[in-house]
Structure 1
Amino acid sequence: MPVHAPRFQPPRLTDLEDGDLADVLPGDAFDGLRFIGASLADRDLPDLTFTECAFDGLALGGLRSRGIRMVDCTIDSADGATMSAVSATLRDVDISHSRIGSFETYGSGWSGIRLTGCKLGYVNLRGSALTDVVFDDCQIDELDLTSAKATRVSFAGSRLGTLEVPGATLAHVDLRGLELSRIVGIEGLKGAVIDETQLGKLAPFFAEQLGLTVL
């Protein structure tokens, strides 16, 4: 069966004007702006909307933005120890060289997303829908996809400590090229693709799930 790769088209942003987030309020909407060295740290800002915006050096530590919506955006060098974006909508977003320690974004919808060279701690995507998502050369401590639906997701050149997939629905999820240390709920891997080397490394998890004793 052929594996369908994620379909990702980087946003093409031109003629952006300089923006300022100093006085942002809940529910504000921004369009066609560039933010350099901006901060949303330690703010409670639900329902923000960013369309065709570029961020460079964004501080996110302590941000709480339930229902945030980002469409056709680029994010470079974002940083934050913790961030909450529950029920977020991300579509056609390119994220690079960013660090987030704990990222709570369960119940979200990600479509056409690429993360490149990012370092992430715990990423909570429980109950989310992911379509056409690329993790490229990323380091992730724990990715929680419990009860999530993931279609056309890849992890080339990435490292992942723990992958949680109980109750997940996967289709064309390509784990080849991923260095994976631990799986929780291995039955949820149905629909994923691995290579022979990974199969050997994952054998103990399969044996444990099936209740096998290997002597």
Structure 2
Amino acid sequence: MRIPAPRELAELPYAHRLEPFTGPMERPGAYESVHFDGSVLEDAEGGRSLFSESAFSSAVFERGSFRRSRFDDVWLHGVRVVGTELADTTWLDAEFTAGVLAGVEAHDAELRRVVFHQCKLDSVNLRGATLREVVFVDCLLRDVDFGGAALTDVRFPGSTLERARFERARPTKVDLRDATALGIAAGLGDLGGATISTPQLFDLAPALAGHIGLIVEDDRDD
């Protein structure tokens, strides 16, 4: 899967149709060709909304809920999503660049053809989510929970994983070889089918040994 380069706003095929968001947020709402430029959405209730061919520039989502909303062909640059509920949302052909997601509840979400460029994901709950053709490029994933998630064609080039969790995950063609660091807090035994490099195998060896109960001991008492 080819990794597309980050795009500028003017490069979007629908850029000339974008209209500024004037608010307020509706529930449910339909937002087609809308530009959320610097919008601050605090405690917004946008559940079951549809966002299509829309752009988000330096917008802030703080708290609030967009549960069961759909995001089709959306572009997000410099966006902060903090303490927001994105559970059961659907994302198709989305691009996040230089964004922050912290304390986000995105369990049971569906992401397909989504790219994260230079983003920070901190304490993001993706339990039970479905990720297909998703790429994390030069990202930091800290305390991200993939427990029970189905991951297909997922890659992490240049990204750092810290205390990631994969209990009961279902990986298919997951490629971790280009990740700069693999900090896995739980679920090593559920990563069968994922691909790692030889150096990464050596780095994970102590944790793998602990997982299967293997005792590693060099000193002998004769």
How far does the alpha carbon of each residue in 1:72-127 deviate from its partner, in whole angstroms, 9 at most, with x for none? Answer: 01000111332210100000000100112211100111000000011111111111
Corresponding position: 1:180 with 2:185: no
Corresponding position: 1:148 with 2:149: yes
- Alignment length (residue pairs): 211
CA shift at 1:156, angstroms? 0.4
In structure 2, the residue corresponding to 1:114 is in which secondary structure? strand
CA contact (8 A) 1:7 1:112 kept: no
The aligned residue for residue 213 of structure 1 is: 215
The aligned residue for residue 34 of structure 2 is: 33
CA shift at 1:41, angstroms? 2.0
TM-score (norm 1): 0.92
| Displaced runs of 4 or more, over 4 A | 6-11
How much identity, in percent, do the aligned residues show?
27
How far does the alpha carbon of each residue in 1:192-212 deviate from its partner, in whole angstroms, 9 at most, with x for none? Answer: 110011000000111011101
TM-score (norm 2): 0.89
State how far apart, in whole Å, the 2-side matches of 1:61 and 1:92 are. 23
Q: Pick closer, same or farther for the CA change 1:211–1:6 going to 2, 3 Å.
A: farther
The 10-residue stretch of structure 1 (32-41 or 143-152) with the greater mean CA deviation from structure 2: 32-41
Q: What amino acid is aligned across from residue 105 of structure 2 in structure 1?
A: E
Higher relative contact order (CA 8 A, sep 6+): 1
State how far apart, in whole Å, the 2-side matches of 1:214 and 1:21 are. 63
The aligned residue for residue 160 of structure 2 is: 159
In structure 2, the residue corresponding to 1:163 is in which secondary structure? strand
The aligned residue for residue 49 of structure 1 is: 50
State how far apart, in whole Å, the 1-side matches of 2:125 and 2:22 are. 26
In structure 2, the residue corresponding to 1:104 is in which secondary structure? coil
Larger Rg: 2
Which ranges of structure 2 fall in alignment gaps of 5 or more residues?
218-222
The aligned residue for residue 13 of structure 1 is: 14
The aligned residue for residue 86 of structure 2 is: 85
The aligned residue for residue 104 of structure 1 is: 105
The aligned residue for residue 125 of structure 2 is: 124
